[in-house]
């Protein structure tokens, strides 16, 4: 009996200890690396290359945070997650940052105990069809079979769109983008729907990319961004400002190549960004050269974009609304000061 009681006491105290919320920053520092949740494989966003290394704009966000915290962008362990798994993985502490083309919505922001740390890609949902079926607009899709990924905003927008346009559809729901694209490839569905950028990413994975066509309609707003647990403001700040540092760097013309020269710049904004003056890093509880490390090791936002999804990549996506605010896009970082 005493044994049972003592076991009960020990395990309950463990439970209390385990559930008390530790600061993610301290936690990550003592581990020596951070766990970053990414997709199971989406070219341009988070995908492994031939050498098995993770690449993509979402991966760069993970790296930026690691560079800020450790001064070393490689101190990241990537955890591939399906859309269905991602929020539980973050809530349960399995990952420290979720950077997996995740749309910022009110429900997710309020009900899941999460916080969105900004937007690293402005997207919108689209449709991809096989050229063979000769459809030119999404409004001609009445009665179509649609492949979609489970646990996404995509599933919900799809239902809304067809209902609003009084059309019917048959959803086939898979867990990973590979399955979704595979089913589209072998004709199980007429249409593949997803965030438009991801349609381009998935298209290059098809057997015959030239046979598939992305329809012009964009049916939703999908601001994608990194996510952290709610209630840990210190970590939230680091994630938020690591992304902002990349955007600010582009705005100020600081690049991976010129960042060393830029430390000699007389522009006070650049001096503050790179930690030459001011105590920005200290305020974030990271090294004062945090932004320097990010830019040196990862690059600014524009560089990351071009390298992963833009002209330097197979996806060839235009900057469009993802250009800086002063270049006709939405990207705007609050001042680093």
Ligand X SMILES: N[C@@H](CCC(=O)N[C@@H](CS)C(=O)NCC(=O)O)C(=O)O
Q: Which residues bind another protein (CB under 8 A)?
A: 1, 4-5, 8, 12, 15-16, 19, 21, 83-84, 87-88, 91, 107-108, 110-113, 133, 141-145, 150-152, 155-156, 158-160, 162-163, 169-175, 179, 182-183, 186-188, 190, 229-231
What is the rounded CA–CA span in Å between residue 255 and residue 296? 8
301 CB neighbour count, 10 Å cutoff: 28
Structure tokens at 295: 């830019």
Element (H, E) at 274: none
- Closest to another protein by CB, 159 vs 257, is 159
- Closest to another protein by CB, 137 vs 311, is 137
Shortest Å distance, C-beta 34 to another protein: 19
Q: What, of another protein, ligand X, none, does residue 231 touch, CB below 5 to 8 Å by kind?
A: another protein
Nearest by Cα to 252 from 236, 276, 223:
276
Structure tokens at 93: 């502490």
Structure tokens at 162: 């067809």
- Closest to another protein by CB, 113 vs 314, is 113
Q: What, of ligand X, another protein, none, does residue 222 touch, CB below 5 to 8 Å by kind?
A: ligand X
- Closest to ligand X by CB, 152 vs 265, is 152
- Closest to ligand X by CB, 227 vs 324, is 227
Structure tokens at 171: 């959803």
Q: What, of ligand X, another protein, none, does residue 262 touch, CB below 5 to 8 Å by kind?
A: none
Please enumerate in sequence order all residues whose Cβ is within 8 A of that of 271, keeping only pairs 6 or more positions apart, or say none.
Answer: 265, 277, 278
What is the rounded CA–CA span in Å between residue 290 and residue 245? 9
Element (H, E) at 193: strand 191-195
Specify the pairing of strand 34-38 against strand 97-98.
parallel
Q: In the complex, which residues of this chain contact ligand X (CB under 6 A)?
A: 39-42, 82-83, 101-103, 149, 152-154, 176-177, 180, 194-195, 198, 222, 224
Q: What, of ligand X, another protein, none, does residue 108 touch, CB below 5 to 8 Å by kind?
A: another protein
- Closest to another protein by CB, 184 vs 290, is 184
């Amino acid at each position: 009996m005493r044994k049972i009681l003592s076991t009960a006491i020990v395990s309950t105290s463990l439970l209390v200890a385990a559930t008390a919320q530790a600061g993610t920053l301290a936690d990550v520092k003592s581990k020596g690396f951070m766990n970053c949740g990414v997709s199971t494989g989406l070219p341009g966003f988070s995908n492994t290359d031939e050498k098995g290394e993770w690449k993509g704009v979402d991966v760069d966000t993970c790296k930026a945070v690691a560079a800020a915290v450790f001064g070393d962008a490689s101190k990241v362990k990537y955890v591939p997650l399906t859309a269905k798994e991602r929020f539980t993985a973050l809530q349960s502490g399995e990952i420290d940052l979720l950077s997996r083309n995740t749309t910022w919505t009110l429900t997710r922001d309020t009900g899941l105990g999460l916080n969105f740390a900004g937007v690293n890609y402005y997207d919108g949902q689209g449709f991809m069809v096989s050229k063979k079926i000769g459809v030119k607009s999404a409004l001609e899709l009445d009665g179509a079979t649609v492949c979609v990924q489970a646990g996404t905003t995509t599933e919900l927008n799809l239902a809304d769109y067809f209902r609003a346009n009084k059309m019917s559809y048959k959803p086939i729901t898979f867990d990973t983008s590979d399955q979704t694209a595979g089913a589209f490839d072998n004709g199980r569905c007429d249409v593949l729907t997803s965030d438009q950028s991801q349609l381009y990413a998935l298209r290059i994975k098809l057997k015959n990319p030239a046979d598939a066509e992305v329809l012009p309609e964009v049916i939703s707003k999908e601001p994608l961004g990194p996510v952290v647990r709610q209630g840990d403001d210190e970590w939230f700040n680091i994630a938020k400002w690591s992304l902002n540092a990349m955007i600010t760097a582009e705005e100020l013309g600081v690049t991976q190549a010129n960042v060393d020269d830029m430390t000699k710049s007389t522009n006070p904004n650049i001096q503050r960004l790179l930690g030459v003056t001011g105590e920005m890093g200290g305020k974030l509880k990271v090294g004062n050269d945090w932004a320097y490390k990010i830019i040196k090791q990862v690059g600014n936002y524009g560089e990351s974009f071009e390298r992963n999804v833009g002209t330097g990549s197979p996806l060839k996506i235009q900057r469009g609304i993802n250009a800086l605010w002063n270049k006709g896009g939405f990207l705007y970082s609050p001042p680093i000061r």
